Amino acid sequence: MFTAGTLAVLVTMAMTLARALVGPTVWDRILAVNSFGTKIVLLIGLLGFLDGRPEFLDIALVYALINFIGTIAVLKFFKFSTLGDTAGGGDIGDV
């Protein structure tokens, strides 16, 4: 049963990768890459269960956090064309 689930996740990963490559807009591609990362988390969890290694769930959680933070950073970059504050001010030394 879990082998069938793993194969299903791999098939959906291939479809998501196709959307990331063909996506008509940047936003479609970003959403597809985020979905791909979520499917990797599922795949890590399934493979950990199939191998009998529950510590893979910790790895999957860390990867999910990295995927979330990376998606937020990419969205901020595409919206503001920068990741940092370049407008001045806001430094700790500026009092």
What is the per-residue pLDDT across 24-38, written as a single tens digit (0 to 9) for each?
998 899 999 999 999
pLDDT at 33: 93
> Whole-angstrom Cα distance, residue 43 to residue 63?
11
Half-sphere exposure of 32 (CA within 13 A, CB side): 18
What residue segments make up the domains of the chain, in order of their start?
2-80
Chunked into runs of 10 residues, the chain (95 residues) has average pLDDT values of 88 94 90 94 92 92 95 88 66 54
| Nearest alpha-carbon partner for 41 in 22, 59, 54 | 59
